[in-house]
């Protein structure tokens, strides 16, 4: 890019966009450019209130939400069981003693993951039950 003064934009080329005016900062002693003649800038429009607000709560039955929670965590638990089976069926090319250790580790890992999913499901169901009775915080 050329730094020749003729190729740099002048302050008269810096016209603020109609929606967001900005201030041009000039060096001391620099002459203020004449205002450009033309149509007035467009009026800035703001959205009418309420804007940028979170929507209100969506009404749904407790049975429907409970079904969603159960389906989600049942799918997670099935995924853990299927992944464990797939990893156990993969051919391990190590000595027999090492294979037994790896199978045990795979089973332990996926059992722990499955247990965590079951606990999370219970917690969410308890939260739903408490919310249905108007309890939102535990002290």
Tens digits of per-residue pLDDT, 99-123? 888 889 999 999 999 999 999 999 9
Residues 6+ apart with CB under 8 A from 22: 16
pTM exceeds cut of 0.85: no
Q: What is the pLDDT of residue 79?
A: 96
Q: Are the CB atoms for 106 and 88 separated by under 8 Å?
A: yes
Neighbours of 128 (CB within 10 A): 14
Q: How confident is the model at residue 65 (pLDDT cuts 50, 70, 90)?
A: very high
d(CA 6, CA 15): 18
Lookup: tokens for 36: 């450009």
Higher pLDDT, 58 or 13: 58
Average pLDDT for 83-88: 92
Question: Which pLDDT band holds residue 41 (cuts at 50, 70, 90)?
Answer: low
Residue 33's pLDDT band (cuts 50, 70, 90): low
Q: Are 78 and 113 in contact (CB under 8 A)?
A: no
Q: Average pLDDT over the chain, rounded to whole? A: 78
């Amino acid at each position: 890019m050329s730094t020749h003064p003729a190729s740099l934009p002048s302050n008269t080329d810096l016209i603020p966009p109609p929606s967001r005016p900005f201030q041009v900062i000039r060096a001391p002693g620099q002459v203020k450019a004449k205002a450009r003649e033309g149509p007035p800038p467009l009026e800035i429009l703001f959205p009418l209130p309420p804007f940028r607000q979170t929507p209100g709560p969506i009404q749904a039955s407790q049975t429907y939400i409970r079904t969603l929670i159960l389906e989600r965590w049942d799918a997670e638990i099935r995924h853990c069981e299927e992944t464990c089976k797939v990893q156990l069926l993969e051919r391990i090319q190590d000595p027999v003693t090492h294979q037994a250790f790896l199978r045990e580790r795979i089973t332990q890992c996926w059992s722990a993951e499955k247990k965590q999913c079951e606990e999370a499901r219970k917690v969410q169901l308890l939260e739903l039950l408490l919310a249905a009775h108007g309890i939102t915080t535990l002290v």
